[in-house]
Structure 1
């Protein structure tokens, strides 16, 4: 009889939810505090890099830590990720300048790049596919709650304490999460001596980092800098491919990424990530700038997505065994273009209710697709590759968000600069329109109602083009998922032999 301690699944899932809550809340709470932070630290021109550095590090390191989890086990890697995240959080609270804040946020991003893929891989190890959907629904609710609670918590911490506490609040949560993994998660030791593809990891990180920086700086920085960043991406990308082809144990298995179900699911994940970024970035702008509603109303319209997402995840969990994985995945993806139709047909006479309904429908689709595609990817690979496969899906989502921000921003700028109704709209005109909500000082100080109406019309045309692009991408996403073959769910037993109830 084995005396190997049993894994206590419910308490491990509690630790997973706590660690993911840190990352989820950090994504929303910082935006609330940034105006006060930049006022105290200065460096307004570096404002966007506080967010970009986090996303850059998180995206680049996701695949690296996914591979390390396959080589060394989930437990040590997730504990390292939590430690890195907490060190970054502690230092960020003591930041003395914007460059320091950016460096410490980058450290947080490295930790997040380990926490997200490895915790989802732990769920895949402990639960069979038929049970995993329900757990993924719980995890989706963490992100939905964080989207609502994060800004509120940020406002309260700033009012009653100081902005440093938006980072330090992670420390007790992270310590409790780490304690839960140490006490309740038990893995069989790995007896083989893995070889680490350090050159591949370094080249991949530099290549993806250069791509992310190029996409972030496109249209914002000098052409020479952007060309250098894209050139660095190409050169290091080629070197990375050459390195992986000759490495004994490559950081990225091209056979794994090229497997048809994984490739199709990840392509759809990139596209849905682009659509999500386009919606979250520009729907509030339309509700405020074109429909003339308050920021609160704009936020409520977007929040409906956060209601739909966990609802879709829960539906997927309950439907997988009845409808099958492929039917659930493709059926759920149809909600994406259906919701996008609401945005593509918005006009200045529309109500925020139409925008809210579109958000809800797209949220349902996002929840179903994200859970179903993750389960599909985890189900068709060996347990020894599950970390890398999970990381590939999360990497695709983050890459889609970055591509979406760059592409839809370019579409909006093109529309604003090439309107037949008005000369190129300036950023000052756009800001006045967004600030001129009913009853505001900006509204009463509007200098020229005719010009304001023209600017609103140009904004409508530009955002209509953006929303039409989201619709097209949503349709292509459905087409990608049609390439997924039928996948039969495995037997109802945990993949990890040493897991307990």
Structure 2
């Protein structure tokens, strides 16, 4: 993939993934600084759940658009949205303005993730796909190692704004490297007959818009007074469930055995992981007065162990079944979240939470790759695209809804003080990990023939 024919496309794709990973980890590190500077603590969770929610719209629309017109216009549109979102966020004078930028950035990021997969399918021969997707995973490792620390230093010695603005030029450079590959794809696309193009699937985009709107409503519900908070949150969660049904395999919301429960577990563990990770730097900087750079150390440790666990489970895949991997991963995540909760509740050393979060990374690295592999293995060719998209949607919406719920927890427990709010939030996240742990037994056998899970979409 680094030969003369592919090198610039490979470098361009990996650079875009690297920058997206850096941005995600960097923003998590500096968001406590941003919310304090913009007096936006009440919208802290929305700054994370919002981009995840609208990212689903980008994923669904980009998949359909790529199948119909090829990935070139999708990549270019996604990059424009990505950059515009960074510029808005980097120049924001208020927290609502920053969230608008994050929403635009999230929409572009969701579309970019799907369209780059299509670029790989169009540019590289199939025998090279394992190598390039392995490089995708590797592109997350370096940002995990240096991203949080660098972002902390930038926020501490320059300005948090450069965490957004500094990435813009690099994104443009990465797209420039992609030009030869995109031109090749565009030429081939012009020769593709109209009858071979996928029709527009407007209904799925509409449902994704409904799911995103419901998640955003749940995220802002904590701003409502009294009983309206609970009524608004409950209504938003119900509407999100209704909108998600056509976007996921039938039985996902109920944790049905086989393929659906893999999606369910993905949503639960993603929610547990991210709803803890976004508040951990706030705990370390706010309650323990650590610098943003030191608080980012927890995210760095998790990135290292995630990569290491992913490598180990790939190398020794036969040592654990899919079911055991998902059980073990959920268990490790639960232990890590418990360490964070104990740190806030008992005022333990911050090292307890930092080391504990390294265990969380190991848990995610143990189960996430096995989930992706299982979904492809249990999906017939006609459903591989739908099921792969569904797994990403479960990941994003699960995390977004968990963040919305933790915001409600913060509001409900706020009168008891900061320590109690962090403890209550981490306890809620731990319950999500318990859900993944209990559902792991429903994953079923590793052999598809013994585990009929090829359920058609519910729509």
The TM-score normalised by the length of structure 1 is 0.69
Cα–Cα, structure 1 residues 488 and 59, in superposed 2: closer, same or farther, change >3 Å? same
Match of 1:388 among 386, 389, 396: 386
Partner residue, 2:455: none
For residues 278-427 of structure 1, the aligned pairs below 5 Å read 278-287=275-284, 296-320=293-317, 323=320, 325-346=322-343, 348=346, 350-383=348-381, 385-417=383-415, 424-425=416-417
Q: How far apart, in 2, do the equivalents of 1:95 and 1:337 lie?
A: 36
Q: How far apart, in 1, do the equivalents of 2:430 and 2:440 lie?
A: 16
If you compute each CA radius of gyration, which structure gives the higher value, 1 or 2?
Answer: 1
Shift of residue 29, structure 1, vs aligned partner: 4.6
Q: How far apart, in 2, do the equivalents of 1:80 and 1:377 lie?
A: 29
Cα–Cα, structure 1 residues 296 and 232, in superposed 2: closer, same or farther, change >3 Å? closer
For residues 410-489 of structure 1, the aligned pairs below 5 Å read 410-417=408-415, 424-425=416-417, 430=418, 459=419, 461-487=420-446
Q: How far apart, in 1, do the equivalents of 2:265 and 2:328 lie?
A: 13
Say whether the 8 Å CA contact 2:8–2:178 is kept in structure 1.
Answer: no
Say whether the 8 Å CA contact 2:285–2:291 is kept in structure 1.
Answer: yes
Q: How far apart, in 2, do the equivalents of 1:161 and 1:276 lie?
A: 26
Q: Does 1:148 align with 2:148?
A: yes
Cα–Cα, structure 1 residues 171 and 33, in superposed 2: closer, same or farther, change >3 Å? farther
For residues 134-213 of structure 1, the aligned pairs below 5 Å read 134-135=134-135, 137-141=137-141, 143-145=143-145, 147-148=147-148, 151=151, 154-155=154-155, 158=158, 165-166=165-166, 168-176=168-176, 178-179=178-179, 181-182=181-182, 189=192, 191-205=195-209, 207-213=210-216
Partner residue, 1:266: 263
Q: Which runs of 5+ in 1 are unaligned?
A: 1-5, 245-251, 418-423, 431-458, 490-501
Say whether the 8 Å CA contact 2:153–2:292 is kept in structure 1.
Answer: no
The count of aligned residue pairs is 434
Cα–Cα, structure 1 residues 184 and 96, in superposed 2: closer, same or farther, change >3 Å? farther
Shift of residue 285, structure 1, vs aligned partner: 4.5
Task: Out of 196-205 and 225-234, give the one that drifted further.
Answer: 225-234
Q: How far apart, in 2, do the equivalents of 1:342 and 1:21 lie?
A: 30
**What's the secondary structure of 2:296's corresponding residue?**
helix
**What's the secondary structure of 1:194's corresponding residue?**
coil
Cα–Cα, structure 1 residues 45 and 295, in superposed 2: closer, same or farther, change >3 Å? closer
Partner residue, 1:249: none
Say whether the 8 Å CA contact 1:19–1:174 is kept in structure 2.
Answer: yes
CA RMSD of aligned residues (A): 4.5
Q: Does 1:220 align with 2:223?
A: yes
Q: Which runs of 5+ in 2 are unaligned?
A: 449-459
Cα–Cα, structure 1 residues 38 and 211, in superposed 2: closer, same or farther, change >3 Å? same
For residues 413-451 of structure 1, the C-alpha deviation after alignment (integer angstroms, 9 at most, x for no partner) is 44443xxxxxx44xxxx5xxxxxxxxxxxxxxxxxxxxx
Q: How far apart, in 1, do the equivalents of 2:212 and 2:160 lie?
A: 37
For residues 295-344 of structure 1, the C-alpha deviation after alignment (integer angstroms, 9 at most, x for no partner) is 55443234321222222222232223664545444443332223334334
Shift of residue 138, structure 1, vs aligned partner: 1.0
Cα–Cα, structure 1 residues 87 and 330, in superposed 2: closer, same or farther, change >3 Å? same
Q: How far apart, in 2, do the equivalents of 1:265 and 1:467 lie?
A: 23
Q: How far apart, in 1, do the equivalents of 2:120 and 2:324 lie?
A: 23
Say whether the 8 Å CA contact 1:54–1:105 is kept in structure 2.
Answer: yes
Shift of residue 365, structure 1, vs aligned partner: 0.9
Q: Which has the higher helix share?
A: 2
Say whether the 8 Å CA contact 2:149–2:296 is kept in structure 1.
Answer: no
Shift of residue 114, structure 1, vs aligned partner: 0.9
**What's the secondary structure of 1:391's corresponding residue?**
helix
